């Protein structure tokens, strides 16, 4: 988990422009992929293949995706797709990180708004 900046000292104007900047910098949302790319050594299933004796094939690139707490899926990635998959995964993390930052800013802005709306305790005249 990244260290969260303390936003309470940053001016509202700066927070708003920071939020604007974060939203502008988002990578194309159609080019995202959640998962991890890893190298794997596989068995082919042929009983007399060398891989059945422990000498597995590979490495091959493999995309592993967690679906929920007990389910995973994945598939091999051909060499020609590796760069694209890598970039899309990177985009996914960037989008997620920026959404998280925007969300932090919005929470801080909401807090300030709430404090402003509070009726002043000081009695007028």
Report residue 93 as tokens: 């993390």
Strand partners, 42: 57
Residues that bind Zn ion (CB under 5 A): 44, 49, 51
Query: Judged by CB, which is closer to Zn ion: 51, or 85?
Result: 51
H or E element that contains 31: none
Which residue lies nearer to Zn ion by CB, 37 or 60?
Answer: 60
CA 61 centroid distance within chain: 21
Q: How far is the CB of 59 from Zn ion (least distance, A)?
A: 14
**Cβ of residue 57: shortest distance to Zn ion, in angstroms?**
5
Phi then psi for residue 43, to 5 deg, are -105, 145
Q: Which two tokens stand for residue 86?
A: 């890598």
CB of 48 to Zn ion, least distance (A): 9
CB-nearer residue toward Zn ion: 42 or 65: 42
């Amino acid at each position: 988990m990244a260290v969260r900046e303390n936003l309470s000292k940053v001016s509202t104007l700066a927070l708003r422009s920071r939020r604007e900047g974060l939203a502008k910098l988002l990578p194309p949302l159609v080019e995202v992929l959640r998962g991890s790319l890893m190298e794997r050594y596989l068995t082919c299933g042929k009983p007399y293949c060398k891989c059945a004796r422990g000498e597995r094939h590979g490495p091959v690139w493999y995309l592993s995706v967690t679906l929920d707490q007990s389910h995973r899926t994945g598939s091999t990635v051909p060499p020609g797709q590796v760069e694209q998959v890598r970039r899309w995964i990177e985009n996914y993390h960037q989008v997620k990180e920026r959404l998280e930052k925007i969300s932090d800013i919005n929470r801080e802005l909401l807090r300030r708004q709430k404090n402003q709306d509070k009726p002043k305790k000081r009695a007028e005249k």
